[in-house]
A and B are shown apart, each in its own frame.
Chain A
Amino acid sequence: MKFDLSEDQIALRDAVTDYLADTCPIPVTLAAHEDATRDKEIWDGLMALGVGGVNIPARHGGIGLGMLDLAVIAEAVGRFAAPGRFFPHALATQALILSENEATKAEWLPKLASGEALATIALAEGQQRWLAEDWMLAGNERLSGSKLFVPVADEADLIIVGLEGRDLALVETSAEGLRIAATPTFDGGRPLFEVSFDATPCTRLAGADGTRLCDAGLLLLCADAIGGAAHCVDSSVAYAKEREQFGRPIGSFQAVKHQLADMALEVEPSMGLFWYAANIYDSNSVESAQFSALAKAHFTDLYAAMARRMIEMHGGIGYTWEFGAHVWLKRSVFDRTFLGTPTIHRARYAQLAGW
């Protein structure tokens, strides 16, 4: 038995990390929050690295790896709070991968792999109705109704829509009767939209189980959260070594040291659980659903706590827009809330565990 990332997975993560370290420093991240074209530049670079096709089968233009491989990339993306497009695009791609609708897969997957097309997901129906069992939007060949909190809908070419009966359908954004309205969004890196349909034509994704798609979404949010939380620890430690008060680095004060030790204690040992949850996704087991729920609750709670501590640790500078720490704070709230809050997922876990 071997329980660690493979050399290939580490290489994949390092390639993405290196690229983002060069192209995505905090000023660029901040700029991307105000100007979507900056986000697109980073996105195009990631697609050129092959990020879009990681878990797409080779026959559809990808490299056919698993959820853990995708998740370690998502972790690197989360560390830099990098392009908002990654999460919705990766999740929409997963919906097509789960589907048995070969014609639709053959048409879209190569474009999603290369980045020629951008995809997103439309799941929420309000009142915290996020998950497949909550979806009520119905329709067969045409849809009428609306979905909330759809990321980057204004730029997407296609939208994967969750339907009654845990079903999924694909809608092209050029289709008739589709309207997109911006939602004022807390996390500027991942702008959200309300999408409404009026007899809008759609293609059903046969065989794609909405619950499995939601589990994939939970894991991608976990990955973003663990990457983001690791950034919060690292940047706080770095600042404590560099910032001097009373004639010495603040990291030499035991109060600060202990706070940093407690932050590292929360984040670093948790990595193994994240890997496990992502790795068993491909097994499609009951355990996979349990661990997706448990991990989403654990990691997104943890991220939110770490982001707050990071800003507090930085003092006044941490509270400035310019410094950029707020990017992670806002992203942590997105990760925590999107697809349901930790409380919802702990309740789901309890049920799935048969308690």
Chain B
Amino acid sequence: MEMSATRDHQQYRQDIRAFLDLEWAKPRASGDVDIAAFRTKAIDAGYLYRGIPRRFGGSEQPADSLKARIIAEEFARAKAPGEVKGVGTQMLVPTLLECGAEWQKEKFVRKTLTGEYKWCQGYSEPGSGSDLASLRTRGELVDGEWVINGQKVWTSYAGTSDYMFALVRTEPDAPKHEGISYLLIDMKSPGIQVRPLKQINGGEEFNEVFLTDVRTPADWIVGERGKGWAVSKSLLKHERNMIGGVDRSDSLFKSLLSLARRVERGGKPSIEDPWVRDRLAALKARLEVMRHISLVQFTREANGAPAGRTQMMNKLYQSNYAGEVANLAVELLGDDALLSPIGNRDVGNERWLMQYMNSLAAAIAGGTSNIQRNIIAERGLGLPREKEGAA
């Protein structure tokens, strides 16, 4: 086991620092920031969208997950804008690159990477959550166009998106997993109605989307007719990798430590309280568990070896962790936990109540914790698959 970075990687880190200093820190200090131009330079230098071919707007670098990690660390350190986040870059683009037609890649990938095209995901339906393949929104091919009718739900940012990638039942007579196609829809099409849903945290990021005789061209299908489920499987994989991450857990723990230093307990800073120290150390251990297993996974990926079944556990470990941190934070808040974190007035430590709620979103989105347990048990541990209930 070599714990220190190789010279090559150390040099790489130095190069990134020099780049960020020149192209980001200096312009920012002089108030002369152009984020789009900075991103273009970072792509040219090979720091962003490394897995994406140059002809589609990526930087097309050899796979090196440790370099990718160094880039992420250095960009975060310099507070420089990295890759555009969201379902467009993190879910649609990888899916198009894997399953899309050439013209689809050319039309959609580059502008999605720059943030010009924003996407939403037409996935869940009122009756189809964890059992996604039971979805009922249907599409019929009429005069060279798909005519789509149905309803989607939990569609984040539907109101501000340019396009939707959607799972639609196009083969009503086929078995449930084989009757679904993966379609692209222009959100400006007639027949789309977006209704925001108010969330427990007061926000309105997600929506219901009603589709009534919505038309999309026949070739706006990714993969073949009836193969949309397979396409969506690669999508699920991308989403699981996207949610959480050690960096997020790391910054959560740092914030918790700073809260423990700031708030008092029995007339002293909480961090001096033996019970609080014990709970913080327990959470620190779990953070180090995530940090080091991700290093193991990175190493194996970098060497082309299977990362192992611990990869299936990342999402559950991370979302559990977010909940554990939030729980301790709310204990530390004391009476402040009675105050609303929402509103225009100055919000103090009770802003942790937002994390208390948001950590639940992490445990639900992208496959609930119980779905994660099914995946670990069935695919990881080889326990018998769940039989479908009588329909």
A contacts, CB < 8 Å to B:
1-6, 9, 68, 237, 240-241, 248-249, 251-252, 254, 257-258, 260-262, 264-265, 268-273, 275-276, 279-280, 291, 294-295, 297-298, 343, 346-347, 349-350, 353, 355
Q: Please, how many angstroms separate the alpha-carbon atoms of A55 and B5 in the complex? A: 25
Q: Please, how many angstroms separate the alpha-carbon atoms of A260 and B379 in the complex? A: 13
From residue 354 to 391 of chain B, which have CB atoms closer than 8 A to chain A?
370, 372-374, 376-378, 380-384, 386-387
Given known contacts A251-B377, A264-B309, what 13 new A-B pairs fall within 8 Å (CB)?
A3-B1, A6-B1, A9-B1, A257-B378, A260-B381, A260-B383, A262-B373, A269-B314, A271-B310, A273-B292, A294-B284, A298-B289, A350-B280
Instruction: Report B-chain residues with C-beta under 8 Å of the C-beta of A1.
Output: 2-6, 9, 66, 295, 299
Given A241-B382, A347-B278, A272:B285 Cβ within 8 A = no
Q: Please, how many angstroms separate the alpha-carbon atoms of A276 and B293 in the complex? A: 10
Instruction: Report A-chain residues with C-beta under 8 Å of the C-beta of B376.
Output: 261, 264-265
Task: Give, as a whole number of angstroms, the nearest-CB distance from B372 to chain A.
Answer: 8
Q: Which residue in chain B gives the minimum CB-CB distance to A345?
A: B281
- Chain B interface, DSSP helix/strand/loop, else mixed: helix
Is B381 in contact with A272, judged by CB distance below 8 angstroms? no
Q: Please, how many angstroms separate the alpha-carbon atoms of A251 and B291 in the complex? A: 31
Task: Give, as a whole number of angstroms, the nearest-CB distance from A282 to chain B.
Answer: 11
Is the CB of B167 closer than 8 A to any CB of chain A? no
Q: Please, how many angstroms separate the alpha-carbon atoms of A275 and B288 in the complex? A: 11
B contacts, CB < 8 Å to A:
1-6, 9, 66, 257, 271, 274, 277-278, 280-282, 284-286, 288-296, 298-300, 303, 309-310, 313-314, 316-317, 320, 370, 372-374, 376-378, 380-384, 386-387
Q: Which residue in chain A gives the minimum CB-CB distance to B66?
A: A1
Q: Please, how many angstroms separate the alpha-carbon atoms of A25 and B168 in the complex? A: 55
Is B384 in contact with A251, judged by CB distance below 8 angstroms? yes
Task: Give, as a whole number of angstroms, the nearest-CB distance from A73 to chain B.
Answer: 15
Is B293 in contact with A271, judged by CB distance below 8 angstroms? yes
Is B277 in contact with A294, judged by CB distance below 8 angstroms? no
Given A251-B383, A272-B293, A275-B1, A355:B282 Cβ within 8 A = no
Q: Which residue in chain A gives the minimum CB-CB distance to B386?
A: A254
Instruction: Report B-chain residues with C-beta under 8 Å of the C-beta of A275.
Output: 1, 292, 296
Q: Please, how many angstroms separate the alpha-carbon atoms of A298 and B387 in the complex? A: 37
Q: Which residue in chain A gives the minimum CB-CB distance to B387?
A: A252
Interface centre among B289, B292, B309 (most CB of A within 10 A): B289
Given A2-B1, A275-B1, A269:B317 Cβ within 8 A = yes
Query: Which of A252, A272, A346, A349 interacts with B296 by CB under 8 Å?
Result: A272
Query: Which of B6, B288, B300, B309 interacts with A4 by CB under 8 Å?
Result: B300
Is B274 in contact with A347, judged by CB distance below 8 angstroms? yes
Q: Please, how many angstroms separate the alpha-carbon atoms of A165 and B316 in the complex? A: 46
Is B295 in contact with A346, judged by CB distance below 8 angstroms? no
Is A4 in contact with B299, judged by CB distance below 8 angstroms? yes
Interface centre among A262, A265, A280 (most CB of B within 10 A): A265
Interface centre among B282, B288, B296, B383 (most CB of A within 10 A): B383
Is A276 in contact with B292, judged by CB distance below 8 angstroms? yes
Query: Which of A4, A261, A271, A347 interacts with B1 by CB under 8 Å?
Result: A4
Task: Give, as a whole number of angstroms, the nearest-CB distance from A293 to chain B.
Answer: 8
A-B contact list, 7 entries, CB within 8 Å = A240-B383, A271-B310, A272-B293, A291-B288, A298-B285, A355-B257, A355-B280
Instruction: Report B-chain residues with C-beta under 8 Å of the C-beta of A2.
Output: 1-2, 299, 303
Instruction: Report B-chain residues with C-beta under 8 Å of the C-beta of A3.
Output: 1-3, 292, 295-296, 298-299
Task: Give, as a whole number of angstroms, the nearest-CB distance from A253 to chain B.
Answer: 9
Is B381 in contact with A252, judged by CB distance below 8 angstroms? no
Q: Please, how many angstroms separate the alpha-carbon atoms of A353 and B280 in the complex? A: 11
Is A252 in contact with B293, judged by CB distance below 8 angstroms? no
Interface centre among A261, A262, A272 (most CB of B within 10 A): A261
Q: Which residue in chain B gives the minimum CB-CB distance to A270?
A: B289
Instruction: Report A-chain residues with C-beta under 8 Å of the C-beta of B299.
Output: 1-4
Instruction: Report A-chain residues with C-beta under 8 Å of the C-beta of B281.
Output: 294, 297, 346-347, 349-350, 353
Q: Please, how many angstroms separate the alpha-carbon atoms of A176 and B313 in the complex? A: 57
Is A237 in contact with B296, judged by CB distance below 8 angstroms? no
Query: Which of B286, B381, B386 interacts with A264 by CB under 8 Å?
Result: B381
Q: Please, how many angstroms separate the alpha-carbon atoms of A279 and B300 in the complex? A: 18
Task: Give, as a whole number of angstroms, the nearest-CB distance from B64 to chain A.
Answer: 11
Q: Please, how many angstroms separate the alpha-carbon atoms of A100 and B295 in the complex? A: 36
Q: Please, how many angstroms separate the alpha-carbon atoms of A223 and B373 in the complex? A: 26
Interface centre among A271, A272, A349 (most CB of B within 10 A): A272
Instruction: Report A-chain residues with C-beta under 8 Å of the C-beta of B380.
Output: 261, 264
Is A273 in contact with B289, judged by CB distance below 8 angstroms? yes
Is A268 in contact with B285, judged by CB distance below 8 angstroms? no
Instruction: Report A-chain residues with C-beta under 8 Å of the C-beta of B387.
Output: 252
Is A273 in contact with B285, judged by CB distance below 8 angstroms? yes
Task: Give, as a whole number of angstroms, the nearest-CB distance from B290 to chain A.
Answer: 7
Q: Which residue in chain A gives the minimum CB-CB distance to B300?
A: A4
Instruction: Report A-chain residues with C-beta under 8 Å of the C-beta of B292.
Output: 3, 272-273, 275-276
Q: Please, how many angstroms separate the alpha-carbon atoms of A112 and B280 in the complex? A: 40
Given A1-B9, A258-B373, A264-B376, A349:B1 Cβ within 8 A = no
Q: Please, how many angstroms separate the alpha-carbon atoms of A41 and B327 in the complex? A: 50
Q: Please, how many angstroms separate the alpha-carbon atoms of A273 and B289 in the complex? A: 5
Is A346 in contact with B282, judged by CB distance below 8 angstroms? yes
